[in-house]
A and B are shown apart, each in its own frame.
Chain A
Amino acid sequence: MECFGDAQKAEGGIVEAHASTRPMGVAAPMPARAQLATIWALMRRAVNEVVRVPGAAIPGVLAPTIFMIGLTAVFGNLTDLRGFTTDTFISFIMPVSLLQGAGFTGAATGVNLARDIELGWFDRLLVSPPPRYVLLAGTVLSASMRSLMPMAMILVVGFALGAHFPGVFGLALAIVIAASFAAVVACYASGIALKFRSQSAGILMQSATFIAVLFTPAYAPQALLTGWLYWVAKYNPMTQVLEAVRQGFVGDVTWHNTWPGLLCLAGLAVLMAMFALRQMQRTGS
């Protein structure tokens, strides 16, 4: 199992390395260190895709940034409405773009998994020694890592255009929550990919992310939402997550505004991880 200490070898050498050290018919448990190395190898593979085909990643990085700038240009005057909680719209919308960028990265992870399933690469992973939850963890955590790219772009452009700096702690909190959200969406999208085994299911991954992030007080504070969106946003758990990310950009960071978001994110993470694991266990059985 020493070969798993070298993460670079894990991608191509999972089957051979483990099989050669295992007696016939005995399913030896994989050591924790090897499991971590496998997760890291899968995460590196996802990042390699970005390095090798940068053109494919550009729309995912550009789109949330364009939305942030565009929505500021279009709806910037909404800050003149009584009850708006900030005087610069870009500070208000930037957290939405962070979650949008992270969410769509998570959805893209599901589409990539569906592609791997269609091409047969995932079947080869399934017959390799690592447990299925390790394969899932590698896939899902790669989304968190990849989500840092759109987030970096959004933050640089947003601050350049005058968004409030939320302080180091506020910024770190926003990044951690958004990156975790990418993993939550990746769990959901991976579950969908495993269930439908086709890239055509990408629409289910993307539209659910769109609804989760934007059916919240995304454009205006809760009190200024109109019609059905007011009620949907009120009970959408993502509203709490968004408020936790947004707090530093429009005011002070407080525990009072943080814990509901963390709780909702943890709840969503447990639910989506259970869904993905269930689909993973059903795969091939």
Chain B
Amino acid sequence: MSVATRARVVGALGRRSLRQAFRRPMFFAPVFVFPSLFLAVNTGGAGAAVDLPGFPAVHGFLDFQLAGAIVQSAMLSAVSAGTSLALDIETGFMDRLMAAPISRLSVVLGRLSANVVLGFMVGVWFLGLGLIFGAHIEGGVAAVALVILLSGLTAGAFGWIGAALALRAGRVSVVQGMFPLVFVILFLSSAYFPQALLEQPAKAVANVNPMSYIADGLREPVIANITGAVTLECLAGIAIVALVGMLWSASAMRRRLRAA
């Protein structure tokens, strides 16, 4: 199969996944509605935290929280994508794709490409929301572009994990059951609060959690400026998540095909 044909397959499946994401509230609500509500509650409820000793200098707590909302949304987009893939498996659509003369990688890449696009949208949505409600983006236009890019890559990386879960379990209920786990990972990172001010043992775990590096990389351009080292750490965090997801997906796909 030529590269152009593969690209067409990926594009077609990606468009299908995006349409699916916006047609059903069960898919788009976790990505846009709940993280927006959570952002609103965190900002208004814990906004006085900027007065705590040790809190980094920020224009406002909303500026600090934007990165948390973006990573939350990116992770939940992976759960939604996994749910959608599991639905395809349950309804037999996946079996028909497997029987079609297209590469298996294209099937997974199609869904992941939709997740990356969704990640870009998430970046645009939360930066827009932040600007409307008074956030300052210290890094300027370049920071906006970088945050949107990193947001897309984060959603794509976590998309591999969602795909792996769906391929391994093959059931919607199991993938949806992972929803609380997303928050465990987020709470054990610096996504919502400075690492230095977290309570133990969250503080110790956050230090080794790749999510902390991803969140810091998304936050730095907003509250300060683009920093090479922080951005590279963020990309390394995204790469680790993507690598784990890819290996797990490949193993789950092999297992599924053997069982078929």
Contact = CB atoms under 8 A, between A and B. Distances in A.
A228 B52 contact: no
B37 A75 contact: no
Q: B interface, by DSSP: helix, strand, loop or mixed?
A: helix
B129 interface: no
B180 interface: yes
Interface of B: 24-26, 29, 33-34, 37, 40-49, 51-53, 61, 173-174, 176-177, 179-180, 183-184, 186-188, 192-193, 197-199, 201-202
B26 A229 contact: no
B133 to A, nearest CB: 8
Contact of A78 (B34, B49, B188): B49
Interface residues of A, number: 44
A231 to B, nearest CB: 10
A210 B24 contact: no
Given A81-B51, A200-B25, A210-B37, A75 B46 contact: yes
Contacts of A206: 29
Contact of A214 (B45, B187, B193): B45
Contacts, number: 118
Nearest to A226: B47
Nearest to A216: B45
B196 to A, nearest CB: 10
Interface stretch (A31-39, A52-60, A184-192, A252-260): A52-60
A156 interface: no
Given A66-B184, A202-B26, A59 B179 contact: yes
Given A78-B52, A210-B37, 5 more contacts: A63-B180, A81-B51, A219-B41, A220-B48, A225-B48
Nearest to B194: A77
Please classify the interface of chain A as helix (H, G, I), strand (E, B), loop, or mixed, using the class held by over half of its residues.
Answer: helix
Interface of A: 55-56, 58-59, 62-63, 66-67, 69-78, 80-81, 199-203, 206-207, 210-211, 214-215, 217-220, 224-230, 232-233
Contact of B34 (A74, A80, A210): A210
B187 A74 contact: yes
B180 A229 contact: no
Contact of A74 (B47, B180, B202): B202
Contacts of A72: 199
A70 B24 contact: no
Given A55-B173, A62-B180, A70-B186, A81 B41 contact: no
A203 B180 contact: no
Given A203-B29, A207-B34, A214-B41, A224 B48 contact: yes
A74 B176 contact: no
A75 to B, nearest CB: 5
B180 A59 contact: yes
The 10 tightest CB contacts between A and B, nearest first, are A229-B44, A70-B187, A226-B47, A219-B45, A73-B202, A76-B199, A203-B25, A203-B29, A214-B41, A224-B48
Contacts of B24: 200
Nearest to A96: B45
B185 to A, nearest CB: 10
A225 B47 CA distance: 7
B41 A229 contact: yes
Contacts of B48: 78, 81, 220, 224-226
Contacts of B26: 199-200, 202-203
Nearest to B181: A66
A66 B44 contact: no
B11 to A, nearest CB: 28
A78 B193 CA distance: 11
